[in-house]
């Protein structure tokens, strides 16, 4: 039996639900008999049934010794929003399960496999493990590092500026670049910004896309307690106000929530603060070919660049007239 091709299929069926299951991982499951897939199931929405449960529910024939299960991620063994999948698998009579990757969540982390093995089920693991981890990189990062993955997004003029000093509002990048930003927002569990950005720019900061998704939570770093909740920023999703100035404490607070990834969209001062505290795993820059000139605010002090913060250029390509560059540590 070609477990690699079966795992490819399990991964494939999980992907359409990327934006609906977050912050949970994408998970796909199959039940196979010989070389034939007889049932498929996916985790389809956050808080909903897990892939294994949906796979059993879709099965139209009784389980025999010939049936095996393929699952992209180790089955859970704890009570969360749903019950343990291990109990359902054991009760089903399945004798062998093929798993892509262990679950890094400390609540699972090998205990699911152990429970299955203790029940006499043969477990094969590590099939396309790297692909499963890459598919769910934010989920794995959070549980392996104890904090969410942090992305910083900036829009820069050709001369490295953020905005005009007089506070006048103007689009730096093209419409297509701004549309691309919506996809980045959609991938993240939270968007973080500062009070000055909300006051000066009046942003919506939601993911405006043409597909269903769990909108990212908004996190506003501010010492201001009273806000006009009717402005656009406070619409479309939950907003947390955090007055703490120590960014490590801020991230530790966020890490206690079901948030695996944070997108920082803020002005130069807050962006530089995150960079100086080494709280950035990926930096995305959209650079316009146009200059803003001397009467504008630079992203970096003393003409220092992104390279000062030990980033490496991962990729770079054009969107309309702009250059999108992705930097990673």
Active-site residue numbers? 52
Nearest one of 65, 302, 292, 322 to 174, comparing CA atoms: 322
Q: How far apart are CA 293 and CA 156, in angstroms?
A: 12
Cα separations (Å) of 24 from 9, 18, 50, 94, 122? 20, 9, 10, 25, 26
Task: Give the full edge-to-edge strand order of the sheet including 282-287.
Answer: 239-242, 217-221, 190-194, 261-264, 149-156, 282-287, 322-328, 312-319
Nearest one of 66, 56, 16, 8 to 36, comparing CA atoms: 66
Q: What is the CB-side half-sphere exposure of residue 260 using CA atoms within 13 A?
A: 18
CB distance 42 to 236 below 8 Å? no
Instruction: Map tokens 């879709």 to a residue.
Output: 58
- 260 in helix, strand or coil? coil
What stretch of H or E contains 40?
Answer: strand 36-42
Q: How far apart are CA 12 and CA 135, in angstroms?
A: 10
CB distance 142 to 255 below 8 Å? yes
Q: What is the CB-side half-sphere exposure of residue 135 using CA atoms within 13 A?
A: 27
Enter the DSSP assignment of 290.
S
φ and ψ at residue 181, rounded to 5 degrees = -60, -35
Nearest one of 136, 133, 130, 177 to 289, comparing CA atoms: 177
């Amino acid at each position: 039996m070609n477990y690699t091709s079966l795992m490819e299929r399990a991964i494939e069926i999980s992907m359409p639900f990327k934006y609906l299951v977050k912050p949970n991982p994408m998970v796909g499951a199959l039940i196979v008999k010989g070389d034939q897939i007889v049932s498929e199931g996916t985790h389809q929405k956050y808080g909903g049934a897990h892939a294994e449960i949906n796979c059993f529910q879709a099965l139209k024939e009784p389980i025999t010794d010939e049936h095996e299960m393929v699952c992209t991620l180790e089955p859970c063994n704890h009570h969360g929003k749903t019950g343990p999948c291990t109990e359902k698998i054991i009760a089903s009579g399945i004798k062998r399960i093929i798993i892509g990757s262990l679950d890094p969540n400390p609540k699972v982390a090998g205990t699911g496999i152990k429970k299955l093995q203790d029940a006499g089920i043969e477990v094969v693991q590590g099939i396309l493990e790297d692909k499963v981890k890459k598919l769910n990189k934010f989920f794995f990062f959070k549980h392996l590092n104890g904090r969410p993955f942090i992305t910083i997004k900036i829009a820069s003029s050709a001369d490295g500026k953020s905005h005009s000093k007089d506070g006048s509002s103007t689009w730096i990048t093209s419409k297509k670049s701004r549309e691309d930003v919506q996809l980045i927002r959609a991938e993240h569990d939270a968007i973080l910004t500062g009070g000055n950005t909300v006051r000066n720019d009046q942003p919506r900061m939601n993911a405006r896309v043409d597909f269903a998704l769990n909108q990212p939570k908004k996190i506003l770093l501010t010492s201001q307690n009273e806000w006009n909740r009717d402005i656009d920023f406070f619409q479309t999703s939950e907003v947390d106000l955090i007055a703490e100035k120590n960014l490590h404490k801020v991230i530790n607070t966020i890490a206690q929530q079901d948030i695996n990834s944070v997108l920082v969209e803020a002005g130069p001062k807050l962006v530089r603060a995150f960079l100086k505290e080494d709280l950035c795993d990926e930096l995305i820059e959209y650079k316009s070919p146009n200059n803003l000139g001397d009467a504008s605010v630079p992203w970096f002090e003393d003409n220092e660049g992104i390279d000062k913060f030990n980033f490496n250029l991962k990729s770079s390509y054009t969107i309309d007239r702009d250059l999108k560059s992705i930097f990673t540590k």
